[in-house]
Amino acid sequence: MPVKNAIVALGGGPSPVINSSLLGVVEACRDNPDRVGTLFGAWHGIEGVLLENLLDLSKQDRAELDKLRHSPSSGAIGTCRYKLEKGSREDYERIVDVIAAHKTQSAMEEAPFKASAGDGFSAKSN
């Protein structure tokens, strides 16, 4: 499978575990360099994707990333409560354009991690 990039965007309000969830995504991507090249963090959630305001999380220092485990709120990359409306073709087309421009994963089943209801992200086993 060719190496692709990934984008992580957080949504909803700040929570005590949101940065730990972000750290889990970063670690899963770093643990799979044969599948994920650059991990981009969308600054302030889906709004960051729509505005193409992406941070290269792949270049972040390990010691800095480790601080996420004990940092409350969502200050690392931010979050938003922007609602993607049904029938809002413009927003969805923009998301697809940004995904394509950054050569990111086209579907979650291609990512080296999967979302599990209630547990955040976990590594896929092959």
Where residue 20 sits, what CATH number does that domain have? Answer: 3.40.50.450
Number of domains in the chain: 1
Predicted pLDDT of residue 42: 94
| Per-residue pLDDT reduced to its tens digit, 41-75 | 999 999 999 999 999 998 899 898 888 888 877 66
Integer Cα distance of 82 and 97 in angstroms: 18
Give percent of the chain above pLDDT 90. 37
Predicted pLDDT of residue 111: 43
Integer Cα distance of 103 and 117 in angstroms: 27
- Dihedral sign for Cα atoms in the order 38, 41, 46, 50: negative
β-bridge mates for residue 7, sequence order: 40
pLDDT band (50, 70, 90) for residue 125: very low
pTM of the model: 0.77
31 close to 112: Cβ distance less than 8 angstroms: yes
Integer Cα distance of 52 and 43 in angstroms: 9
**Residue 51, domain extent:** 4-123
Which of 120 and 65 is assigned the larger pLDDT?
65
Predicted pLDDT of residue 124: 41
